[in-house]
């Protein structure tokens, strides 16, 4: 039996966390890991105490035909990266890696070529996260260096979610 790589092990956990997401469009899950210890997890969902889209039975952004990557202020959810950062002490995020996976809400399949939105990239920069690993397939992934988002300001313009 071939042993799973450590990166795919963490991405499997992020994908499981994504299954808790309450978003009807895209179910994201994130985990922050430092020194082989899971520091925190986060998934997309409405702020505590507010109704989730899955409970309401609709997505306002979808109802309004808002394209992916636009008008996040209309979204009920707090993004997975933000929830993971909120749940972690900053000293444990310095130099850490954030692993992220996404399940397409319509198909239930793994979403490929995911990226973080501009706001979440800013949060990861300020949190001190060093690397982000995005799952593309059950065995393939893309690695982003957060430092590149600082030195290449154009990278912040990419559309996520």
Cβ–Cβ < 8 Å for 80, 21: yes
Please give the pLDDT value at position 153: 65
Cβ–Cβ < 8 Å for 13, 99: yes
**DSSP secondary structure string, 68-130?**
TTS-GGG--PBPHHHHHHHTS-HHHHTT-EEEEEEEETTT-SBPPS----HHHHHHHHHHT--
**Residues forming the active site:** 81
Taking the C-alpha atoms of residue 83 and residue 29, their distance in angstroms, rounded to an integer, is 9
Taking the C-alpha atoms of residue 63 and residue 75, their distance in angstroms, rounded to an integer, is 11
Please give the pLDDT value at position 25: 87
For the entire predicted model, the pTM comes to: 0.90
In this predicted model, what pLDDT tens digit does every residue of 105-160 receive, in sequence order? 889 999 999 999 989 999 999 999 999 999 999 999 999 999 999 987 665 555 45
In this predicted model, what pLDDT tens digit does every residue of 17-28 receive, in sequence order? 999 999 988 999
Could you give phi then psi for residue 21, rounded to 5 degrees?
Answer: -60, 145
């Amino acid at each position: 039996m071939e042993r799973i790589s450590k990166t795919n092990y963490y991405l499997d956990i992020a994908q499981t966390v994504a299954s808790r997401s309450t978003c009807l469009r895209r179910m994201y899950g994130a985990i922050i890991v430092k020194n082989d210890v899971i520091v925190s997890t986060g998934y997309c969902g409405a702020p505590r105490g507010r109704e989730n889209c899955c409970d309401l039975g609709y997505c306002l952004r979808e109802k309004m035909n808002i394209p992916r990557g636009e008008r996040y202020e209309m979204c009920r959810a707090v993004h997975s990266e933000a929830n993971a950062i909120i749940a972690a002490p900053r000293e444990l995020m310095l130099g850490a890696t954030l692993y992220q996976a996404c399940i397409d809400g319509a198909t239930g399949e793994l979403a490929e070529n995911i990226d973080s939105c501009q706001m979440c990239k800013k949060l990861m920069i300020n949190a001190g996260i060093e690397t982000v690993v995005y799952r593309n397939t059950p065995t393939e992934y893309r690695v982003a260096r957060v430092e590149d988002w600082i030195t290449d300001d154009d990278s912040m313009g990419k559309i996520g979610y």
